[in-house]
A and B are shown apart, each in its own frame.
Chain A
């Protein structure tokens, strides 16, 4: 099971990195399902629902239904939101 998840993680990372190339960053983690953060200027001015719709559409077009079920949440933030002075968790 762990191998399958690792494979899925790599696959998703590749898809998202292609869609959000550097200097954007894609950080994914597979805990009890995949979670992650995409940091990109492309999210500037976008509401959270629009960000999730964008990320959701990318996932839907590249992953199978079973694979999608393993993705819990991937949030989209701008570089400012991701690295603000107060944003670092204690």
Chain B
């Protein structure tokens, strides 16, 4: 089944809404993180598809990010829209921070992880941070905040 770039873009928005729904539902945090990551992947595939329809990055978000050309499009188009260099730099840095957060907290095989397994995994990889309440819920909230930010920046850019 082939998906054109616009389809990937619309699916990114849909998956992001579904990830937020799963988070609010309160018992499916592992799935919420996974679906949030899929939303980001869909967005990257949308941008990549407009530049080059071939998809050989699989689920490697960092390579997809590079192939999407999002940062290059960002800079050129924002400067054309009378943003200052400093504003663009700040915007790009914010986007890079979102990528960093997504990279460190997401893996494609999370779809196989139970709530308990992912909770234990995230405690281990994030260094057992002092968090009140459900550790997995808080890490999910942080991940979705970064994913949402990334999607919102993508929406602005997609329409430029």
Contact = CB atoms under 8 A, between A and B. Distances in A.
Interface of A: 29, 31-33, 35, 37, 44-45, 47-49, 51-53, 56, 69, 72-73, 75-78, 80-81, 84-90
Contact of B97 (A29, A33, A52): A52
Given A48-B98, A78-B127, A81-B126, A90 B66 contact: no
Contacts of A90: 58-59, 108-109
A35 B124 contact: no
Given A73-B96, A89-B58, A48 B69 contact: no
Contacts of B124: 80, 84-85
A35 B63 contact: yes
B125 A48 contact: no
B71 A72 contact: yes
Nearest to A68: B89
Given A45-B127, A86-B118, A73 B71 contact: yes
Majority secondary structure of chain B interface residues (helix, strand, loop or mixed): helix
Given A52-B96, A73-B96, A80 B125 contact: yes
Interface in B42-70: 58-60, 62-63, 65-67, 69
A86 B113 contact: yes
Q: Indicate the member of B69, B113, B126 with the most A CB atoms within 10 Å.
A: B126
Given A48-B98, A48-B104, 20 more contacts: A31-B63, A32-B72, A37-B103, A48-B97, A49-B94, A49-B97, A51-B97, A52-B96, A52-B97, A73-B96, A73-B100, A77-B103, A77-B104, A78-B127, A80-B124, A86-B109, A86-B110, A87-B107, A87-B125, A90-B109
Interface residues of B, number: 35
Contacts of B97: 47-49, 51-52
A56 B121 contact: no
Contacts, number: 97
A42 to B, nearest CB: 13
B99 interface: yes
Nearest to A46: B100
A28 B75 CA distance: 22
20 contacts: A32-B66, A35-B65, A35-B66, A52-B93, A69-B75, A72-B66, A72-B71, A72-B72, A75-B99, A77-B100, A77-B104, A78-B125, A81-B105, A84-B107, A84-B121, A84-B125, A86-B113, A88-B109, A89-B109, A90-B58
